[in-house]
């Protein structure tokens, strides 16, 4: 499988959005191990870009192979500047924290939907060869603003990419990523505080950062475009995970049930019940979910206009209608 990834990346210029995030940082480290021409890293966070620059300096990666871009995917002029000389786009940038997106609906749509719309449109216009959209199991039958924005991103990737090769990778919960529950629980355990758990029956599909990066790179190497997921086995019961962490650390603390937060589910799902086909990778499946949702993209302009006018109620109504 490594040679397929190599063939896909050799002498290519790759743009990673959301560079500097937990997953994207590891992904960028892996990308420069391949003979790519250049790695472009885009993030609105100055700290994220600064930390990436320091990391690559420590690893003595030549500056000629790297470009650090401070900016946002909602900035069309910025995209117009950088996409004409880009071969591959890996779009990881997103507001992903479920409660914060519930509290900031308009900004979540502007970043996750309008930004993705801009990126897909510009990438297609300027002849980008391959585009990967990083999604989440929260996009399946979404109950949260974040999940709904990711579902709209999936639909745009499937049906708005024109002649450009475009695929989706759908993650479960990524262990150790920023904002994930495991670092929070470890902090609570080590401080002798109660672990906060939303529901005693809560389950999640879990994967590692390395597995997430592998899914991106392998999907990128496939000739067929589409939707790909990683076989994560059975979902993990979160109360069991909490007990395992306490055992590993040798510290026992109470578990406090706090109740589901707005937008959260007890259980997530990986697909809409579509067919999962095997691929050349034993743990990666291609998902076929049907095209019945394509017509909902007719409301995309309504959604983007509502968000642009900062109308929270209209934005949420359009978002729900597109993803129901």
Alpha carbon distance 94, 146 (integer Å): 9
The residue assigned the tokens 């190599």 is 6
Q: Which of 12, 40, 130, 138 is catalytic?
A: 138
Pair of tokens at residue 263: 């937008």
113 DSSP 8-state letter: I
Report CA Rg, the chain: 20
Catalytic residue at 138? yes
Structural contact between residues 263 and 144, judged by C-beta atoms closer than 8 angstroms:
yes
133 DSSP 8-state letter: E
**Which among 90, 76, 66 has a CA at the least distance from the CA of 18?**
90
In the beta sheet, which residues pair with residue 251?
none
User: In 3-state terms, what secondary structure has residue 20?
Assistant: coil
Which positions are catalytic? 138
């Amino acid at each position: 499988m490594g040679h397929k990834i190599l063939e896909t990346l050799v002498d290519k210029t790759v743009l990673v959005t959301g560079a500097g995030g937990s997953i994207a940082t590891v992904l960028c480290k892996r990308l420069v191990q391949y003979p790519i021409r250049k790695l472009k890293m885009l993030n609105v966070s100055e700290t994220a870009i600064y930390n990436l620059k320091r990391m690559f300096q420590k690893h003595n990666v030549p500056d000629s192979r790297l470009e650090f871009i401070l900016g946002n995917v909602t900035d069309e002029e910025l995209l117009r500047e950088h996409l004409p000389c880009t071969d591959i786009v890996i779009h990881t940038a997103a507001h992903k924290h479920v409660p914060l997106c519930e509290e900031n609906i308009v900004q979540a749509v502007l970043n996750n939907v309008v930004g993705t719309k801009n990126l897909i449109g510009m990438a297609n216009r300027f002849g980008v060869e391959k585009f990967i959209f990083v999604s989440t199991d929260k996009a399946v039958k979404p109950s949260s603003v974040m999940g709904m924005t990711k579902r709209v991103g999936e639909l745009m990737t499937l049906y708005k990419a024109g002649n450009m090769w475009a695929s989706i990778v759908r993650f479960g919960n990524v262990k150790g990523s920023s904002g994930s529950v495991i670092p929070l629980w470890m902090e609570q355990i080590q401080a002798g505080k109660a672990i906060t758990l939303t529901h005693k029956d809560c389950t999640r599909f879990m994967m590692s950062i390395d597995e997430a990066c592998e899914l991106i790179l392998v999907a990128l190497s496939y000739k067929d475009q589409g939707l790909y997921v990683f076989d994560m086995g059975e979902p993990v019961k979160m109360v069991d995970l909490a007990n395992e962490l306490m055992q590993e650390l040798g510290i026992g603390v109470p578990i406090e049930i706090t109740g589901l937060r707005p937008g959260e589910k007890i259980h997530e799902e990986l697909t809409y019940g579509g067919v999962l086909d095997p691929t050349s990778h034993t743990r990666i499946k291609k998902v076929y979910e049907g095209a019945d949702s394509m017509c909902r993209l007719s409301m995309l302009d309504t959604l983007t206009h509502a968000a642009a006018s900062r109308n929270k109620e209209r934005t949420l109504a359009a978002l729900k209608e597109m993803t129901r």
